[in-house]
Amino acid sequence: MAAVRLGEIVARFGGELIGDGDRTIVQVASLEQARPDEISFLSHPKYRTQLSTTRAGAVILSRQAAAASPSACIVSEQPYLYFARVSRWLNPGHTPPAGIHPTATVASRLPASVSVGAGAVIGEACTIGENVVVGPGCVVGEGVAIGADSLLHAKVSVYPGCLIGRRAIVHAGAVIGADGFGFAPEADGSWLKIPQIGGVIIGDDVEIGANTTIDRGALDDTVIEDGVKLDNQIQVGHNVCIGAHSALAGCVGIAGSARIGRRCTVGGGSVILGHIAIADGVNISAGTLVAKSITRAGNYTGTVPFLEHADWLKNFARLRHLDAMADKIRALEAQVARLAEQEK
Amino acid sequence: MAAVRLGEIVARFGGELIGDGDRTIVQVASLEQARPDEISFLSHPKYRTQLSTTRAGAVILSRQAAAASPSACIVSEQPYLYFARVSRWLNPGHTPPAGIHPTATVASRLPASVSVGAGAVIGEACTIGENVVVGPGCVVGEGVAIGADSLLHAKVSVYPGCLIGRRAIVHAGAVIGADGFGFAPEADGSWLKIPQIGGVIIGDDVEIGANTTIDRGALDDTVIEDGVKLDNQIQVGHNVCIGAHSALAGCVGIAGSARIGRRCTVGGGSVILGHIAIADGVNISAGTLVAKSITRAGNYTGTVPFLEHADWLKNFARLRHLDAMADKIRALEAQVARLAEQEK
Amino acid sequence: MAAVRLGEIVARFGGELIGDGDRTIVQVASLEQARPDEISFLSHPKYRTQLSTTRAGAVILSRQAAAASPSACIVSEQPYLYFARVSRWLNPGHTPPAGIHPTATVASRLPASVSVGAGAVIGEACTIGENVVVGPGCVVGEGVAIGADSLLHAKVSVYPGCLIGRRAIVHAGAVIGADGFGFAPEADGSWLKIPQIGGVIIGDDVEIGANTTIDRGALDDTVIEDGVKLDNQIQVGHNVCIGAHSALAGCVGIAGSARIGRRCTVGGGSVILGHIAIADGVNISAGTLVAKSITRAGNYTGTVPFLEHADWLKNFARLRHLDAMADKIRALEAQVARLAEQEK
C-alpha cells in the first residue's frame, strides 16, 4: 500500500488538520491497535479514554475531542463518515482479473470485463453488466440480469429470472430467488405446493450478507430497493418489499408480503410477520417481534430483560397470572373506596 | 404458455363458472396485478376491496363473494386450493434435460433419466431414483439414497448415508446430515466430540428450504416424515422427529431429540427446546420459545407485544419486579381485609 | 467394524466391569435401539426406566444405577464421557484419501498428505497443514492458513487471509471471513460501506456448524479461541471474541464487538448485542436476548412462558400496562396507610 501524507488526506476530504501535514499514513486502525504510521478515529465518547494512550499517527475526531488528542488530528463534524472515506481510499479492494476460468460453465454472452471464477455456472440468456465479478462456485440461473460493477462472492445461488442492480455486493452462500413458502391445505391434511412464479428485483447499491436468503414472489415480485443493506443469515419471504436505504442486521426473518419502509433499521434476530406494513424511518430494536403494522416513524421495542435464572423463575412465572393480578388490583380499589366512604 | 379457456378449467377442476366459458387465460396473477388474460383468486375477505378494481379476466372465489365480482368468476368452496390447482396446471415447471454434465463427478450408477448439473459430485454406492435432478454444485455423499422424481436445486449438501424420499424438493444451500452438536465435558473444561453415527431419514413429498440444515442423529436417526414442509434457514438438531404434514416457517430452530407431531404448524423464528414432545395438530405462533412438552392440540403463543421504545422502557422494566408487585398486592389484600373487619 | 471385548474396553478406559469380559461389542447405541452386540449408556436418571427393557449387551452407568442393570455393565463416575471415549474408539471416522482431485483448482503448494475434493478451489499463498481435508466444492481464498489435521466438509467458504487452527472441523456451507456489517450514514440517508480489513483468527480444536457465518473484523480481528464449539446457523459479527471452550447452540446471533468469556454456554436462538462483555463461565438460556454486559459467572435467562393462545391474549396484553399497574398499587398503598392511620 502506498503511503499518503496527512496533507493529502485533508486536501482530498476536507476537515481541519492540526499537526504536521507531512506525516505519512499507510493504513487505518483502531485507537487500541494503531501504529505510528496509521490513522484512527474517535466517534463515540465511550472510547475517549483510549485517546490518551493511542499510538496512532493521527486521529479523526470532533472539535470537542480535538483538544485531548496527543497526536496529529483531523477535525471533522462526522468523524466516522470521514474515517470511512479515508479507509475506502486506502483500501480500494482488489478485483480478480477479467476472464472466464476454464472450469466455469458459461452459456451466455459476457462482456470481456467480466470475471467468472472457478467452477461457476452461468445459464442461458443472462444479461451481465461490465466489470461484474461472479465468484468461484456461483450458480446463476437462466435469464438472470446483473448490473455493472456488481460482485458476487463465492457460492452465491441466483435462481432463474432474478434481477440484480448495479454495484451489488453479495456474500458467500446467499440464495436469491428460491421458491417462497406457499402451500394450500388439502382436505386430507397434506399440502399442495403453489408454483412461485414471481421474481426477485434488487435495486442498485444493495449489499447482501453471507447465507442470506431472498425468496422469489408467489405471483408478483419480491423487491429490494436501492441502497438496502442486509447482513448475514437474513430470511426474506416471498413478496416482501424493503424500501430504499433500509439496513437490517443479522438473523432477521421477514415473513411473506411484509412491506418495510425506506431508511428503516431492524436489529438482529428480529422477526417481522407477514402482510404487515412498516412506515419509513422506523427503527426496530434487536430481538423484537413485529406482529402488526407500524404507521409512524420512531423507535420500537418488544423484548424482555434477562435476569439471573433464579430471579427469572420468580418473576417471569408471574406472567401467567398477570390478568389475575390486574383483577386483584381492581377488587382492592373497590374495597378501599368503600372503606374510605364509610370513614367519612 | 398455451392459453386455456375458462370452460376447460371448470371441466378439469369443477366449480361453477359464472361468465363466458370461451374466455382464454394464460396465467395466474394477483388481483392487483392481473391482466385481462389472467385469472386471480380471492380467499381472504381482507382483499375483497380489490375485487372491484381488478382487471383480471376471471376470479376464483367463494359463493358469498361471487355477487361482487365485476368479471367472470369460478365459484369454489376452497378458492385458494382451486387456484393452486389451476396454477400448477398452467405452470408445470421445466426440468433440466436428463444426463450428466461433463464437469460433474459421479461415482455411482445412475438411471438414464437422471439429470446431474455442472460441477455436482455424487459419491460411491448411492441409489438415485428415476427422474431425479441433482442441481449444479450439489455434493451427495457416499451411500445416499434419493427417491424418484426428487429435485435438488443448486449447492445442496447431503452427507454420507442419508435417505431422501420421493418427490422431494430441496432448495439451494440446504445441508442434510451434518454432525449433530454432541460433546461430553472433560474435567479440564474442554469438550470431547461424540461421533454422530445416526443418519437422516426423509419421507416422501418433503420440501426443504434454502440454507436449511438437518443434522444426522447421534445414535438413532433424525426423521422427517412424509409431506413435511420446511421453509428457509430452519435448523433441525440431531434425533429430532417431525411428524407427517407438519409445516415450519423460516428461521425455526429445533434442538436435539425434540419430537414434533403430525399436522403441526410452527411460526417463523420459533425455538423448540430439546427432548420435548409436541402433540399432533399443535400450532405454535411465530417467535415462541417452546420450553416444555405440549400434550394437546391447539394454538400456543409466548411472545411480547412491541411498544414505542419509551413506553417499553417504562413498562418492561417492571418485569424485573413482578414478584415484588405480587407480594405488594398480597400485603394490601391482608391489610384491607383487616380494615374491613374493624369497620364492622 | 471389528468387534471388541468388554474386557478390552475396561483395560483401555478404566471403570469397573460387572459381567462377562469376553462378551463382544461392535457398536454403541441408545438404550432403546441397542442390540445384544452393542453397548449403551445411562447418564440421565430420566432414562432409567429404559434400563429394564434394553437389549444392549452392556451398559455404561453410575454406581447407583448398576444394581438395576439387567445386562453386563461398566461402572464409571462419568458415564457420558466414558461412552464418548468408547464411541470414538469404535468410530474413528474415515478420511478421504490424500491427493488433489483432478477437477480441483489449487494455486498453493500443499503437503502430500492433504486431500482436496472435487471442484474445490484453493487460492495463492495458502499455508495448509499436514493431513488437512478440503471437501468438495470448498473455496479457500488467498493467503488462508489451515492447521494440521483440520477437516473442511463440502462447500465451506474461507475468505482471503483467515487463519484456522489445528484439528478444526468445519461443516458444509459455513462461511468464514465475509465482510462485517459496517456502514457510515451519509447526509442523504444512504450508507457508505466501510472496508472490513480485519481478519478471522480461529484457534485449535474448534468445530463450526453447517451454514454458520463468522465475519472478518472491521479493523482488528474476529477471534475464536481454542476448543470453541459452534453449532449450525450461528452468526458471529465482526470483531467478536469467543473465549476458549465456550459452546454455542444453533441459531445464536452475536453482534459486532461482543466479547464472550471462556467456558460459557449459550442456548439456541439467543441474541447477544454488540459491544458488550460476558464473563467466563456464564450460561445463557435458549432464546435469551443479552442486551447488557454480564460480569459474574452464573445462569441467566430472559424468556417468556408460552400459553394457550387465548390465555396468552388475556395475560400478555397486560404487559402494555405494567407501569400503570405499579402506579395503582402505589396509590392503594398510600390510601390503605391513611385508612389504617385513621382507624387508630
Task: Please check the confidence at residue C340 and state whether its pLDDT lies above 90.
Answer: no
Write the CB contacts of C169 (distance below 8 Å, at least 6 apart in sequence). B179, B193, C150, C151, C153, C206, C207, C208
* CA dist B4 → B11, B31, B248, C311 (Å): 11, 19, 35, 50
Chain C residues in contact with A333 by the CB 8 A cut-off are 328, 332
Of residues B101, B238, B245, B309, which has the active-site annotation?
Answer: B238
Contact call for residues A305 and A315 (beta carbons, < 8 A): no
Task: Please name the residue that has the C-alpha cell 366459458.
Answer: B21
Task: Please name the residue that has the C-alpha cell 452392556.
Answer: C58
CA dihedral sign, ordered C37, B126, A104, A229? negative
The cell for C273 is 448485542
Which residue, among A184, A281, A271, has the nearest Cα to A233 in the 3D structure?
A271
Within 10 angstroms of residue B314's Cβ, the number of other Cβ atoms is 15
Query: What distance in Å separates the CA atoms of residue A179 and residue B171, rounded to the nearest whole number?
Result: 8
Which residue, among A218, A192, A219, has the nearest Cα to B81 in the 3D structure?
A192
Percent of chain C with pLDDT over 90: 91
The distance of C172 to chain B (nearest Cα, Å) reads 7
**Nearest Cβ partner for B309 among A175, A290, A300:** A300
The gap between the terminal CA atoms of chain A, to the nearest Å, is 88
Of residues A44, A153, A238, A245, which has the active-site annotation?
Answer: A238
Rounded to 5 degrees, φ, ψ at B196 are: -100, 95
The gap between the terminal CA atoms of chain C, to the nearest Å, is 88
Rounded to 5 degrees, φ, ψ at A327 are: -60, -40
Element (H, E) at B82: helix B79-90
Chain C residues in contact with B329 by the CB 8 A cut-off are 329
- B partners (3+ CB pairs within 8 A) are A, C
Nearest-CA residue of chain B relative to C88? B195
CATH code given to domain A4-90: 3.40.1390.10
Q: Using the beta-carbon criterion (under 8 Å), do A197 and B87 form an inter-chain contact?
A: yes
Mutate to test the interface with B, among A181, A211, A252, A343 (most CBs of B within 10 A): A181
- Average pLDDT, integer, range B192-219: 98
pLDDT digits (tens, 9 = 90+) for B166-185: 999 999 999 999 999 999 99
**Nearest Cβ partner for B178 among C88, C209, C304:** C209
Within 10 angstroms of residue C99's Cβ, the number of other Cβ atoms is 13
Fold matches, B4-90 and B99-300? no
Q: Using the beta-carbon criterion (under 8 Å), do A315 and B329 form an inter-chain contact?
A: no
Chain B residues in contact with A266 by the CB 8 A cut-off are none
**Nearest Cβ partner for C287 among B189, B271, B301:** B271
**Nearest Cβ partner for C323 among B103, B302, B318:** B318
Of these ranges, A40-49, A222-231, B314-323, the one predicted with the greatest mean pLDDT is A222-231
**Nearest Cβ partner for B207 among A155, A193, A328:** A193
Within 10 angstroms of residue C2's Cβ, the number of other Cβ atoms is 6
User: Which stretches of C56-168 are DSSP H helices?
Assistant: 63-66, 79-90
Q: Decide: helix, strand or coil at residue A282.
A: strand
What's the residue count for chain C?
344
Write the CB contacts of A25 (distance below 8 Å, at least 6 apart in sequence). A3, A4, A5, A6, A9, A37, A38, A39, A57, A58, A90
pLDDT digits (tens, 9 = 90+) for A151-199: 999 999 999 999 999 999 999 999 999 999 999 999 999 999 999 999 9
Q: Using the beta-carbon criterion (under 8 Å), do A175 and B336 form an inter-chain contact?
A: no
Q: Using the beta-carbon criterion (under 8 Å), do B135 and A137 form an inter-chain contact?
A: no
Q: Using the beta-carbon criterion (under 8 Å), do B189 and C263 form an inter-chain contact?
A: yes
Task: Please name the residue that has the C-alpha cell 422502557.
Answer: B313
pLDDT value at position B205? 98
Q: Using the beta-carbon criterion (under 8 Å), do A245 and C190 form an inter-chain contact?
A: yes
Going by pLDDT thresholds of 50, 70 and 90, the confidence category of residue A129 is very high
Element (H, E) at A254: strand A253-254
Taking CB atoms and an 8 Å cut-off, how many pairs form between chains A and B?
233
- Average pLDDT, integer, range B255-282: 98
The distance of A251 to chain B (nearest Cα, Å) reads 8
Q: Using the beta-carbon criterion (under 8 Å), do C155 and B155 form an inter-chain contact?
A: yes
* CA dist C304 → B288, C177, C315, C323 (Å): 8, 35, 12, 18
Q: Using the beta-carbon criterion (under 8 Å), do B326 and A325 form an inter-chain contact?
A: yes
Nearest-CA residue of chain C relative to A41? C219
pLDDT value at position A2? 77
Within 10 angstroms of residue B62's Cβ, the number of other Cβ atoms is 16
pLDDT value at position B223? 98
C179 burial level (CB within 10 Å; 0-12, 13-18, 19+): buried
Q: Decide: helix, strand or coil at residue C155.
A: coil
The cell for B318 is 417492571
pLDDT value at position C1? 56
Contact call for residues C222 and C216 (beta carbons, < 8 A): yes
- B233 — alpha (psi -120 to 50), left (phi > 0) or beta? left
Q: Using the beta-carbon criterion (under 8 Å), do A320 and C318 form an inter-chain contact?
A: no
pLDDT value at position C317? 86
Within 10 angstroms of residue B114's Cβ, the number of other Cβ atoms is 20
Q: CA A170 from chain center: how many Å? A: 12
Interface of B with A in 295-324 (CB under 8 A): 303-310, 312-313, 316-317, 319-323
- A partners (3+ CB pairs within 8 A) are B, C
- The amino acid occupying position B139 is V
Task: Please check the confidence at residue A344 and state whether its pLDDT lies above 90.
Answer: no
pLDDT value at position A46? 83
pLDDT value at position A271? 98
Within 10 angstroms of residue B343's Cβ, the number of other Cβ atoms is 12
Q: Using the beta-carbon criterion (under 8 Å), do A232 and C235 form an inter-chain contact?
A: yes
Which residue, among A268, A273, A306, has the nearest Cα to A284 in the 3D structure?
A268
Chain B residues in contact with C268 by the CB 8 A cut-off are 235, 253, 255, 271, 273
Query: What distance in Å separates the CA atoms of residue B12 and residue B27, rounded to the nearest whole number?
Result: 16
Which residue, among C244, A328, A115, has the nearest Cα to B326 in the 3D structure?
A328
DSSP-derived letter for residue B53 is T
- Strand order from edge to edge, sheet including C289-290: C105-106, C121-122, C139-140, C157-158, C175-178, C213-215, C235-236, C253-254, C271-272, C289-290
Angle between helices A309-316 and B322-343 (to 10 degrees): 40
Q: Using the beta-carbon criterion (under 8 Å), do A154 and C139 form an inter-chain contact?
A: yes
Write the CB contacts of A274 (distance below 8 Å, at least 6 apart in sequence). A237, A255, A256, A257, A258
Contact call for residues A128 and A134 (beta carbons, < 8 A): yes
DSSP-derived letter for residue C48 is G
The distance of A48 to chain B (nearest Cα, Å) reads 28
Q: What's the mean per-residue pLDDT of chain C?
A: 96
Write the CB contacts of B63 (distance below 8 Å, at least 6 apart in sequence). B75, B77
HSE-CB at A95 with a 13 A cutoff on CA atoms is 17
DSSP-derived letter for residue A297 is -
Domain locations in chain C as residue ranges: 4-90, 99-300, 309-343
CATH code given to domain C99-300: 2.160.10.10
pLDDT digits (tens, 9 = 90+) for C121-143: 999 999 999 999 999 999 999 99
pLDDT digits (tens, 9 = 90+) for C165-210: 999 999 999 999 999 999 999 999 999 999 999 999 999 999 999 9
**Nearest Cβ partner for C30 among B105, B220, B284:** B220
Query: What distance in Å separates the CA atoms of residue B275 and residue A217, rounded to the nearest whole number?
Result: 36
Going by pLDDT thresholds of 50, 70 and 90, the confidence category of residue A1 is low
- A55 — alpha (psi -120 to 50), left (phi > 0) or beta? alpha
Of residues C44, C153, C171, C238, which has the active-site annotation?
Answer: C238
Q: Which residue has the higher pLDDT, C106 or A95?
A: C106
Going by pLDDT thresholds of 50, 70 and 90, the confidence category of residue C94 is confident
Interface predicted TM-score (ipTM) = 0.96
Interface of B with A in 78-137 (CB under 8 A): 78, 80-81, 83-85, 87-88, 90-91, 93, 101, 103, 117-119, 135-137
Nearest-CA residue of chain C relative to A245? C190
Contact call for residues A168 and A203 (beta carbons, < 8 A): no
Determine how β-strand A298-301 pairs with β-strand B307-308: antiparallel
Q: Using the beta-carbon criterion (under 8 Å), do C189 and A263 form an inter-chain contact?
A: yes
Query: What distance in Å separates the CA atoms of residue A254 and residue A242, rounded to the nearest whole number?
Result: 10
Write the CB contacts of C180 (distance below 8 Å, at least 6 apart in sequence). C196, C198, C215, C216, C217, C218, C222, C237, C238, C239, C256
DSSP-derived letter for residue A186 is P
pLDDT value at position B1? 56
Interface of A with C in 19-78 (CB under 8 A): 27-30, 32-33, 78
Chain B residues in contact with A233 by the CB 8 A cut-off are 211, 233
Going by pLDDT thresholds of 50, 70 and 90, the confidence category of residue C91 is very high
Task: Please name the residue that has the C-alpha cell 389484600.
Answer: B333
pLDDT value at position A31? 94
- Is A238 a known active-site residue? yes
Q: Using the beta-carbon criterion (under 8 Å), do B298 and C305 form an inter-chain contact?
A: no
Q: What's the mean per-residue pLDDT of chain B?
A: 96
Query: What distance in Å separates the CA atoms of residue C329 and residue B327, rounded to the nearest whole number?
Result: 11
Contact call for residues C151 and C169 (beta carbons, < 8 A): yes
**Nearest Cβ partner for A320 among C105, C159, C315:** C315
Q: Decide: helix, strand or coil at residue B190.
A: coil
Q: Which residue has the higher pLDDT, A49 or B141?
A: B141
Q: Using the beta-carbon criterion (under 8 Å), do B251 and A251 form an inter-chain contact?
A: yes
A55-59, A272-276, B2-6, B98-102: range with lowest mean pLDDT: B2-6
Query: What distance in Å separates the CA atoms of residue B77 and residue B69, rounded to the nearest whole number?
Result: 16
Mutate to test the interface with A, among C101, C213, C290, C308 (most CBs of A within 10 A): C213
Task: Please check the confidence at residue C26 and state whether its pLDDT lies above 90.
Answer: yes
Interface of B with C in 251-290 (CB under 8 A): 251, 253, 255, 269, 271, 273, 284-285, 288-290
**Nearest Cβ partner for A247 among C183, C211, C329:** C183
Nearest-CA residue of chain C relative to A230? C181
**Nearest Cβ partner for A233 among C191, C235, C307:** C235
